[in-house]
Amino acid sequence: MTKLKSYLCGEWREGTGEGEALLNPATEEILAYATADGLDRKEALDFARRQGGPALRALSFRQRAELVQRTAALLQKNRDELIGLAMTNGGNTRSDAKFDVDGAIATLQAYAEMGAALGEKRLLADGEAIQLGRTPRLAGQHVLTTRHGVAVHVNAFNFPAWGLAEKAAVALLAGMPVLTKPATSSALVAHRLFELLVEARIWPEGSLSLLMGGAGDLVDHLEGQDCLAFTGGASTAALLRNTQGVVTRGARINVEADSLNAAVLGPDVEADSETYDFFLKDVLRDMTQKAGQKCTAIRRILAPEALCERFRDDLADRLAPVVVGNPATDGVRMGPLATAKQKAAVLDGLSLLARDGRLVHSRPGLKPEGAPEGRGFFVSPSLLEVEPGAEAPSVHSHEVFGPVATIVPYDGSAAQAVELITRGAGGLVSSIYSEDVPFVTDATLGLAPFHGRIFLGSAKIAELSPGPGTVLPQLVHGGPGRAGNGEELGGERGLAFYMQRTAIEGSRPVIDRILKQGGA
């Protein structure tokens, strides 16, 4: 059986021991093993800092963008193989796997275009020069320069291709070497992607490292110029925030964690209208795409009290025919969860939510299509509903990372929608489906401080929209509070995490000369 190696210090290195088994979550067949036991993480970080950092910083944004573009082309060329691996190791349907792999390619392309537009610069001017004295001679100018550490990326299991690419594209374009640690359970895609990258020799030596297996003492070796970007559970995030590299030496950390994303149907929306249909479709997609294992998926559905019954029946009617099973079987629209641990967590979470309300749709005794009897980490799509005015503490505080959502009735006012949604204590994205501009405005202003993104759903954009669950490279991804208080992507904004903002104060002609030297 294959034991997956790590790519560290410019070579493939094998960990000791058998390691963790990577499974096909639909059949529980073992596909490979991964272990990073015994590998020297400190040496790997030092190598990246010493070799990769200077080589990348010597390149301009345009030159780095060209390498990002070649990386996107490499993924595109090997798209089918990567999609196949995401299906086998991730339990993804073909459509789910495309969402991951194509999302990775699109994000790389977006950053390649952005980098090309930045041209031959190696530093970025942040705003205009500011006059500080009585005459323009004394000036201040903020600039961004690339940090001299390693960008350490710890990723979640649900998007092995996109998760790796969306973080790497930004860090590499900013000029930092990347050490990526995919979640072990679904790491086959990331491993193959690295094999392709190493073979293609696109990036200078030391720019890319892969840790295949447990993180071990990796984060203990972070230094003050390093950046740690983490996606995963809140308890792991808390652990990482408390490591010496972050607390004592000032390594930067960015966290993308849990989120109880909500979608609210405006009081103006009538059943059978185009906006109502758009809302239904988006909720259905978010519940079933990737079996609900999407950080941005809608978990709480706010519907005006008068429309709740109708909405619940319409959604249940659309959930009923969703074929759950082995993604290798024709006609399957929803696959299993990624691991046995995730299945157990979802079932526990469902019991918790059921204390707050009632289960209005689920399929007890579900028989997944094409899966061996009693095998696979399948759960039924499940819809719950709470009573109007119910406290429902778990619904507003416990994220169930699976095909589960809860209908929460509200009185149709923006004030109550905001009050209920913000009980979630900070989220990645919430959505407002309405054509009522005053309602949309009030709800947006009320929700914005608690979210990284607000999605405005209406018939006007229905045809063009990928829905609230799709993270776009042009827009910020992250959120305050429970969501980790982090921020990624957002176009050029994303580069700032990997760069140091410095205020330069002095004579204007000298400042201009410095900017010219850096190509800004």
Q: Point out the residues that are catalytic.
A: 256, 295
Which residue, 27 or 180, is less far from ligand NAP as judged by CB? 180
Strand ranges (DSSP E) for 86-173? 124-131, 138-146, 151-154
Q: What is the smallest separation between the CB atom of 277 and ligand NAP, expressed in angstroms? A: 28
Residue 23 interacts with ligand NAP (CB under 6 A)?
no
Give residues 421-480 in contact with ligand NAP (rule: CB under 6 A): 428
Beta bridge partners of 139: 131, 506
Q: What is the smallest separation between the CB atom of 214 and ligand NAP, expressed in angstroms? A: 5
Q: What is the smallest separation between the CB atom of 473 and ligand NAP, expressed in angstroms? A: 14
Which residue, 85 or 265, is less far from ligand NAP as judged by CB? 85
Residue 497 interacts with ligand NAP (CB under 6 A)?
no
CA 169/CA 188 separation, integer angstroms: 20
Phi-psi region of 474 (alpha: psi -120 to 50; beta: other; left: phi over 0): alpha
Contacts of 347 (CB under 8 A, 6+ apart): 379
Q: Which residue is nearest to ligand NAP (CB)?
A: 232
Place of tokens 């196949």: 84
Residue 221 interacts with ligand NAP (CB under 6 A)?
no
Residue 212 interacts with ligand NAP (CB under 6 A)?
no
Residue 356 interacts with ligand NAP (CB under 6 A)?
no
Place of tokens 């790796």: 164
* Total residues in contact with ligand NAP, by rule CB under 6 A: 26
Output the six-digit token pair for 489.
């992507």
Residue 35 interacts with ligand NAP (CB under 6 A)?
no
Residue 399 interacts with ligand NAP (CB under 6 A)?
yes
* HSE value, Cβ hemisphere, 13 Å, CA-based, for 62: 8
CA 505/CA 283 separation, integer angstroms: 52
Q: Strand 404-410 to strand 300-304: parallel, antiparallel, or no bridges (unpaired)?
A: parallel
CA 42/CA 63 separation, integer angstroms: 29
Output the six-digit token pair for 177.
């070497």
Q: What is the smallest separation between the CB atom of 460 and ligand NAP, expressed in angstroms? A: 28
Residue 215 interacts with ligand NAP (CB under 6 A)?
yes
Burial of 112 (0-12, 13-18, 19+ CB in 10 A): buried
Which residue, 279 or 497, is less far from ligand NAP as judged by CB? 497
Q: What is the smallest separation between the CB atom of 422 and ligand NAP, expressed in angstroms? A: 18
Listed ranges 70-78, 124-132, 227-235, 280-288: which one lies at the site for ligand NAP (CB under 6 A) = 227-235
Do residues 266 and 439 make contact, with C-beta atoms less than 8 angstroms apart? Answer: yes
- Among residues 69, 88, 141, 184, which is the contact residue for ligand NAP, using CB under 6 A? 184
- Among residues 71, 109, 146, 155, which is the contact residue for ligand NAP, using CB under 6 A? 155
Which residue, 401 or 433, is less far from ligand NAP as judged by CB? 401
Q: At what angle do helices 160-174 and 79-90 cross, to 10 degrees?
A: 130
- Binding residues for ligand NAP, per CB under 6 A? 154-158, 181, 183-185, 214-215, 219, 231-233, 236, 239-240, 256-259, 295, 399, 401, 428
